[in-house]
Amino acid sequence: MALSRRSSLMSGTFILVSGLIASSSIIRASSPSDAVRITAVANVTLRATPSSTATAVAQLPLGTEVTESGPSGLDKTWIQVTLPDSRAGWVQSSLTRPLDPVWRWPVFDRIISERLGRKGDGFPAGVELVAFIERVAPEYTDKDGRARVELARLKALSSTAAAIPFNQSKREPYASWLAARKEQVVYDEPGGRWMLRPDLIWSAHSAHASTTMADDIAWFAVNTGLPGECEGEIACYLSAFNVLQGEYLRRLPAGRRAAESVDFVAQSTERLAPSGKVAPAYAFDRGGCQDMVKAVDSLSAAIKDTRAAAKDRAIASLTGLKKLCEK
């Protein structure tokens, strides 16, 4: 009899607890969510109703934070959201990402990586990406995170500048953007393109030289190149090699791309003057010997400090070029 009474009590307790859990679930399901989301693409349309043909309420730039304002459990193809200025509407869920209130930077990293990885995005999308990166950059508090987001900013700036159509720099929206970024970008006349100033990238490397991103930043500087054209002049090419590959090697003699840099110099200099004679496609002017010798000596010293397999070959080729000024 006691056992039966105990079983009855336990059963009643189970029913009561189950009922409370169910009631709590109903309350949560019908309560508005305060989850924060962030737009992950450029120019997201906020609409009056959950339909792609509904009236547009606003256009949301990349990185706009919104709050879910509708009940949970609905079809998540569209989500009802509220903007910081209290405007409300619907956005396509796939165009947003959930944003953790504490660990925000992983979502930022994902969005930035996705946008940088896209091909063919035009100037407006690039402007939005740069603005987004510059807005969230202060939230990266560790040194590697700051270096990572700075490299992303440089890449976004580079692709945005390159998206400016030829001969359109004096028209809007390009003119005002270029005016605001005049310390960051330069026009490459022979290439007919806008590009990052090389010193901007090397300065970023200096600022983040002790981080895990240092190698990637320096290599980005090498791959960005220099404005202008050497037009076949050997001294000019050697100066360029010294400013790019040479600078990388001086900063990172044991860097991940050191062997690649030395091999590039070896192959390139051998093409300029095979067997000690100037190749037909190139020109040699003794008037540029002073700068050429200086570049060769600086580049040779940088290569000497590496352990690259092509080190001796590159130095021998550079020495052969230097002898052109001794003849």
Residue 6: inside a domain? no
Q: Which domain holds residue 174?
A: 100-229
| Residues 101, 66 contacting (CB under 8 angstroms) | no
Shared-domain flag, residues 187 and 92: no
Shared-domain flag, residues 234 and 197: no
Q: What is the mean pLDDT of each run of 10 residues along the chain (327 residues)?
A: 40 40 35 78 94 95 93 74 94 94 95 94 95 97 97 98 95 97 96 96 98 98 96 95 98 98 97 90 91 96 97 96 88
Euclidean distance between CA atoms 305 and 261, whole angstroms: 13
Residue 15: inside a domain? no
Of 144, 137, 187, the closest CA to residue 166 belongs to: 187
CATH of the domain at 76: 2.30.30.40
Residue 247, both tokens: 């600078």
Residue 139: inside a domain? yes
Domain count, the chain: 3
Name the helix (H) or strand (E) containing 157. helix 143-162
Residue 326 has what pLDDT? 84
Shared-domain flag, residues 268 and 301: yes
Residue 120 has what pLDDT? 85
Shared-domain flag, residues 138 and 56: no
Shared-domain flag, residues 160 and 195: yes
Residue 10 has what pLDDT? 39
Shared-domain flag, residues 209 and 124: yes
Sequential DSSP letters for 59-89: EE-TT-EEEE-SBTTS-TTEEEEE-TTS-EE
| Residues 67, 114 contacting (CB under 8 angstroms) | no
Of 98, 115, 134, which marks where a domain is finished? 98
| Residue 2: strand, helix, or coil | helix
Residue 275 has what pLDDT? 82
Residue 11, both tokens: 């059963």
Name the helix (H) or strand (E) containing 247. helix 247-251
Shared-domain flag, residues 119 and 185: yes
Shared-domain flag, residues 166 and 178: yes
Of 65, 98, 131, which marks where a domain is finished? 98
Residue 28: inside a domain? yes
Residue 315, both tokens: 């130095």
Euclidean distance between CA atoms 19 and 25, whole angstroms: 10
Shared-domain flag, residues 181 and 268: no
Residue 223: inside a domain? yes
Shared-domain flag, residues 153 and 104: yes
Residue 70 has what pLDDT? 76
Residue 123 has what pLDDT? 96
Residue 241, both tokens: 């090699």
Residue 109: inside a domain? yes
Residue 14: inside a domain? no
Shared-domain flag, residues 122 and 44: no
Residue 16: inside a domain? no
Of 76, 98, 120, which marks where a domain is finished? 98
| Residue 97: strand, helix, or coil | strand
Q: Treating both helix axes as pointing N-terminal to C-terminal, what angle do 311-322 and 234-241 enclose, rounded to 10 degrees?
A: 140
Shared-domain flag, residues 246 and 319: yes
